[in-house]
A and B are shown apart, each in its own frame.
Chain A
Amino acid sequence: MERKTKLTAEEGKQELVVTREFDLPLELLFKAYEDPEIVEQWMGTKVLKLENHAHGGWQYETSDPKGNVVFRANGVIHEFVPQQRITRTFEMENTPFPVQLEFFEFESLSPETSRLVMKIVYKSVADRDQMLKLPFAQGINMAHNKLQEVVNKLK
């Protein structure tokens, strides 16, 4: 499978860079970050607040099918330059993870293609590594939970 999304996490550095090229004009790529309704669709989360200007705030919330909130994150927008850049903080609520600083750079490659470079700076190297492991750990936990369900049915 083609790997369009590149991840760079140099050892011992407290930053992470995610790069992705899109078959989309720059305007449409930026729109997907600007428009709360569209953000909800591709992030799979509810947008409680999205104030696209310097000093504006944002807050996203995800619930499970039963309506329990499983994820809530918020931050402050420091820079909002249409078709170019968004700089913001990101903090997961009710978790021990410290706030992180995010730089989104949007760039046009051709009239029909564009690139996003997302640079995330963490409080420490350990915090970055912990965050990187999260989807991996969740995957394992999910597998465990599924196994538990199967075992429970056997009882």
Chain B
Amino acid sequence: MNLRRDVFQAIADPTRRAILMLVASQSMTAGAIAANFDTARPTVSKHLSILTECELLEPEQSGREVIYHLNPKKMKEIADFIEPFRQLWEDRFNKLEAIMKNYKPKK
């Protein structure tokens, strides 16, 4: 259960946001990403695994290195995070409309 990550939790952290910005500019190895930060390598690795768990990053094994790519689909989901809320109401209202179109008043 603790492994379940919330995307919003993931992007709430400034280091993780910085990592996403970096990888957005170009796909990078874990080592190259870590070189951009003063934090210890295991800390960066931890951030990378959280971002991967949330599917914001996609790791690709390349020889002995892992290259991280940005998952634009997931990023778009965050940009559209209020869309599911709108969709929820759209579905409800569509249902309301369908029901009332067939409504026959009780006599």
Contact = CB atoms under 8 A, between A and B. Distances in A.
Given A132-B82, A139-B84, A18 B89 contact: yes
A5 B97 contact: no
Contacts of A20: 89-90, 93
Contacts of B88: 135
Given A4-B90, A42-B96, A137 B82 contact: no
B92 A43 contact: yes
Contacts of A9: 82
Nearest to A28: B100
A77 to B, nearest CB: 19
A144 B87 contact: no
Interface residues of B, number: 25
Given A7-B82, A23-B97, A32-B100, A140 B7 contact: yes
Interface in A11-30: 18, 20, 22-24, 28-29
Contact of A22 (B87, B97, B103): B97
A41 interface: yes
Contact of B86 (A5, A22, A139): A5
B82 A24 contact: no
Nearest to B78: A136
B89 A38 contact: no
A141 interface: yes
A155 interface: no
Contacts of A134: 85
A150 B38 CA distance: 40
Contacts of A146: none
A66 interface: no
A140 B8 CA distance: 11
A80 B52 CA distance: 50
A28 B82 contact: no
13 contacts: A7-B82, A23-B97, A24-B97, A24-B100, A31-B100, A32-B99, A38-B99, A42-B93, A42-B95, A42-B99, A133-B82, A135-B84, A136-B84
Interface of B: 4, 6-8, 77, 81-90, 92-97, 99-101, 103
Across the A-B interface, the 8 shortest Cβ-Cβ residue pairs:
A135-B84, A42-B96, A5-B90, A7-B86, A42-B95, A28-B100, A136-B84, A136-B81
